[in-house]
Chain A
Amino acid sequence: MTPLLQLDSVNKAFGGLKVTQHLSFSVFPGEIAAIIGPNGAGKTTLFNQITGHLLPDSGRILFKGEDLVGLTTQAIVKKGLGRAFQVASIFPEETVLDNIRLAALANLDHTRRFWRPSAEHRQATEAAVAILASLGLEEQGGRLAFELSHGDQKLLDIGIALALQPTLLLLDEPTAGMSPEERQRTRRLIGEIRREYDLTLVFIEHDMDMVFDIAHTVRVLQQGALLAEGTPAEIQSNEEVVKAYLGEEL
């Protein structure tokens, strides 16, 4: 099977600090891939390189067989790569519905249209309403985004990414800062939306219960390098990983 995302010896350094070191791995269509590692391991920096926010010093990042290195974020997003952020990246003064509708309008390439009110753009509105329903946010559609709870803002961030109809969705700590109930709900929703939207997921997470519950594969980063990769069971029994990162969590 051809990998959907393939990293080929990616390197990145900030001065003398190596944040990504000879990183190579592949993610296949339909996979739920987790990236774990201690703070400062270079997980978010890796996402930033995949999405064109940072340029790797060397190496290739192939998406659907095409090298993303050197492309702008906009171009990468248009190729079908969506991202939700560690700190929810939303439009706080817009309604929840408008947040997702804007993404749907962007996906339809309708954001240059300047005459009809955005609410009257039926296709985008229907897509936004469907996503709200998938995320269980349909009751919140009319509220302003900043009024939402932290957990719902994180879901809204995912909803914005979903409206772009990505093939691959990158989730940066989707349950960070959530209550146990919110984590449980988010964990369930992530599984559901993957099936519903036929997505490949790569997510960064510190919640090991979630990682080992939903991930098909796990990559462990340490100081920008790949410490280990494998199935959740393999990672859980990897002594080096247990020693370096998991520790007492197991």
Chain B
Amino acid sequence: MGRSDMKSLCNGNMLGWGALILAFALVPVLMTSQYQLNVACNVLIWALFATSFNMLWGVTGMLSFGQALYYGVGGYAIGLTVTYLGSQWYFAAFAAGLLFTLVLSFLLGLLVIRVGGVYYTMLTLAFGQLAWQIMFKLYDFTGGDDGLQGITLPGLLANKVYYYYFVMILVLLAVWVLKRMAYSPFGLILRGVRQNPNRVRFLGRRVRRNQLRVYIVASLFATVAGALMAGVDGSVHTDMFFWTTSGEVILMSVLGGISHFFGPFCGAVVIILIEDIVGAHTEYWSLLIGSIIMVMVIGFPRGLVGGALDVAAKVRATLQGAKHDDTTLTAGLGK
């Protein structure tokens, strides 16, 4: 994310946030079925998950293949607590999940940030798969492959519409907080870590410490996403921990564009909607989705948001009759 990104985001800041809130706030008005609300919840929750993941990858350059671990922690914190203690413990479970992630991500973070590049990616994958295996094997406690069903929510949250608004508020609040972080001095040093870690050391800053901080932050927000998902259809499954969940969030980020704060958010929206729409018409939906994503990635190598901004800039340049400097444009948009 470069400064041009920041400028464009700041300029359209209020308008953009207003449009985003309005669009999601109108969902229960325009889409009244429970299924449609569930899809909208999925869109929001995956968008948060992808955005938090991108703090690691797009901002800091740490490609984790194990963020599903923390997503699963969130889901199972709610699932296990509500199943064994009752729905009145819902908010306590939420907090406990976050606390558990805080400790776990700190401890695992200390280990995984010691290695870089593909080794870091493989190590995060290994820890994710280890967690999945543990949850899978503890059948009597976690329900194993069957997961946990019948997770009820307390009070007003039991109502699907209220729960949708609860999800919407929490997700948009979390995304707003992450955006503040991305453009703060903390975000700037994280971008520095990605672009030139050696220079960061020569600024008197610790590269690994900053990597650990963002690893914990991203993991906490992944836990929020997982915890919210547990209430969408009242169930959790060990798939939440599985590597394909981590893979999906990477795919969303690539599709939307990792160089842009809202890229992974948009990628999540597009993938969930494609899965839903195409999945309703054919059993070969995954083949079709794969093809669509392949075409999109080839057509928009900088992601949908990057591609859209490129097109908008080209149109602007054409309208102004100015000579278009493609190199400058590409750079100005951050990648």
**Using a CB–CB distance below 8 Å, which chain A residues touch chain B?**
51, 72-75, 77-78, 82-83, 89-95, 97-98, 101-103, 105-107, 110-119, 121, 124, 142, 144, 146-147, 160-161, 164
Contacts and interface: CB of A to CB of B under 8 A. Distances in A.
A106 B190 CA distance: 12
Interface of B: 1-4, 6, 10, 180-181, 183-189, 191-192, 195-196, 198-199, 201-206, 210, 213, 328, 331-332, 334-335
Nearest to A97: B3
Nearest to B203: A106
Contact of A74 (B4, B181, B196, B204): B204
Given A74-B206, A98-B3, A106-B189, A114 B201 contact: no
- Per CB-CB distance, the 4 closest pairs between chain A and chain B, nearest first, are A77-B204, A114-B186, A106-B203, A111-B189
B198 A147 contact: no
A93 B58 CA distance: 13
Given A93-B334, A98-B3, A118-B183, A105 B202 contact: no
A105 B200 CA distance: 12
From B180, B184, B201, name the one whose CB has the most chain A CB atoms within 10 angstroms.
B184
Contact of B201 (A74, A93, A147, A160): A74
Contacts of B180: 114-115, 117
Contact of A90 (B196, B201, B328, B334): B196
A91 to B, nearest CB: 5
Nearest to B179: A117
Contact of A89 (B6, B189, B202): B202
B305 to A, nearest CB: 16
A129 B191 CA distance: 21
A117 B183 contact: yes
Given A73-B202, A77-B203, A94 B185 contact: no
From B183, B199, B203, B206, name the one whose CB has the most chain A CB atoms within 10 angstroms.
B203
A115 B184 CA distance: 6
Given A114-B186, A121-B185, A142 B205 contact: no
B332 A106 contact: no
Contacts of A91: 191-192, 195-196, 199
B202 A83 contact: yes
A121 B184 CA distance: 9
A29 B34 CA distance: 75
Given A95-B3, A106-B205, A111 B199 contact: no
From A105, A111, A112, name the one whose CB has the most chain B CB atoms within 10 angstroms.
A111
Given A90-B196, A93-B195, A147-B328, A111 B202 contact: no
A193 to B, nearest CB: 18
A118 B331 CA distance: 20
Contacts of A51: 202
Contacts of A74: 201, 204-206
Given A82-B202, A144-B4, 17 more contacts: A72-B201, A74-B206, A89-B202, A91-B191, A91-B195, A91-B196, A93-B331, A94-B188, A94-B191, A94-B195, A114-B180, A115-B184, A116-B184, A118-B184, A119-B6, A164-B203, A164-B204
A124 B180 CA distance: 18
Contacts of B195: 91-94
A114 B196 CA distance: 20
Nearest to A113: B185
Contacts of A95: 2-3
A118 B191 CA distance: 12
B185 A118 contact: yes
Nearest to A98: B3
A72 B205 CA distance: 11
A119 to B, nearest CB: 8
Contact of A117 (B184, B192, B328): B184
Given A89-B198, A91-B199, A93-B195, A144 B187 contact: no
Given A93-B335, A106-B204, A164-B203, A111 B198 contact: no
A58 B216 CA distance: 40
